[in-house]
Amino acid sequence: MENQNHPDPPKVNTHVVIPFPEESGPYLSKWEKLKQKCSGGNKKENLLLVLLLGAVILGCAVGFGTRASKQLTKREIMYLQFPGEMLMRMLKMLVLPLIISSLISGIAGLDAKTCGKMGLRTMAYFATTTILAVILGIIMAVSIQPGGDANKSNLVRTGAPAKVNSADTFLDLIRYFGLVCLI
């Protein structure tokens, strides 16, 4: 037998290593990462989220509690509705400027030819729908004649004039003050 000096075949590592998830490693589940992020570290990062969730839970608890406790008068209902009404008015006040600014920024990104065609089509559509709405309104008013056959001489007035409270006046002053009254 010939003795050939062949090197030994390379050894292959067949040992499989499965990494064990560490407490701060990349192998944590999404829930564990969320739990770590919320429980530790910088508390100011999640302060707004925590306060928002707390306010929602508190609002639901107060709503359920007041509804279950007793029958509320119209005045108490008005006092409870006031902050929500103001919030809705402020949100409505923000919608129009946001839409206008997004339209302006979108149009600014277009070239002049495309913008001109789109603007012409938009103006034509707006003018057409406005003219059709006016014509339809005139036709309906002439054909229906709302209030034409009403006998206004025999109207009986009943009830007393509403008593105005100073709290109503103050809340109306806040409610209709400034730009909020544009809505």
- Strands (DSSP E) contained in 21-171 are none
Q: Which of 17, 182, 174 is nearest to 85 (CA)?
A: 174
**Domain range for 49:** 19-70
Q: Are 167 and 74 in contact (CB under 8 A)?
A: no
Check residue 41 and give its pLDDT: 58
Q: Note the pLDDT of residue 37.
A: 67
In angstroms, rounded to a whole number, what is the distance separating the alpha carbons of residues 85 and 113? 44
Give yes or no: residues 115 and 102 share one domain.
no
pLDDT the model gives residue 104: 84
Q: What is the per-residue pLDDT for 87?
A: 85
Q: What is the pLDDT of residues 130-174, one digit of tens each?
A: 999 999 999 999 998 887 777 777 777 788 887 888 888 888 888
| C-beta separation of 169 from 80 below 8 A | no
Q: Does any domain span residue 179?
A: no
Structural domain includes residue 64: yes
Residues 85 and 125 in one domain: no
Per-residue confidence (pLDDT) for residue 133, from 0 to 100: 96
Q: What is the pLDDT of residue 127?
A: 93
- pTM for this structure? 0.43
Whether residue 65 sits in one domain with residue 32: yes
Residue 173: inside a domain: no
Which residues of the chain carry a pLDDT beneath 50?
none
